[in-house]
């Protein structure tokens, strides 16, 4: 696999992981007991902890990407192992 392809796949893992991590630990100003910022939506987080979430995202996506690359190199799960592709995918036998 080329370096550019691996980087693009890692960035996909990173982005999807970020969206999964963002909601954890979020509290609004009402839930936190602090004063809301004037002009801020009441549903906005009072302390989003973005740096901490980016670090968690980097660690989790690195593990997921490592598993992906290990599967790519060692071929643990291939297209033939997924039942969907055997019956409905591009490799399904043509009927009739």
User: What's this model's pTM, rounded to 2 decimal places?
Assistant: 0.77
pLDDT 10s digits, 15-34? 999 999 999 988 888 888 88
pLDDT 10s digits, 40-79? 888 888 888 999 999 999 999 999 999 999 999 999 998 7
Best CA proximity match to 32, nearest among 40, 42, 20, 22: 42
Contact between residue 30 and residue 40 where contact means Cβ atoms under 8 Å apart: no
For residue 51, the model assigns a pLDDT of: 96
Q: Up-side HSE of residue 84: CA atoms within 13 Å toward CB? A: 0
CA 73 vs CA 27, 30, 55, 59, 76: distances in Å: 42, 50, 27, 21, 9
């Amino acid at each position: 696999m080329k370096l550019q392809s691996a980087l693009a796949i890692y960035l996909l893992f990173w982005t999807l992981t970020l969206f999964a991590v963002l909601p954890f630990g979020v509290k609004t100003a009402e839930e936190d007991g602090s004063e809301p910022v004037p002009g801020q939506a009441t549903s906005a987080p009072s302390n989003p902890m973005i740096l901490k979430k980016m670090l968690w995202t980097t660690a989790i996506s690195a593990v997921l990407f490592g598993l992906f690359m290990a599967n790519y190199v060692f071929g643990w799960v291939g297209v033939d192992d997924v039942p969907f592709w055997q019956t409905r995918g591009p490799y399904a036998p043509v009927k009739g």
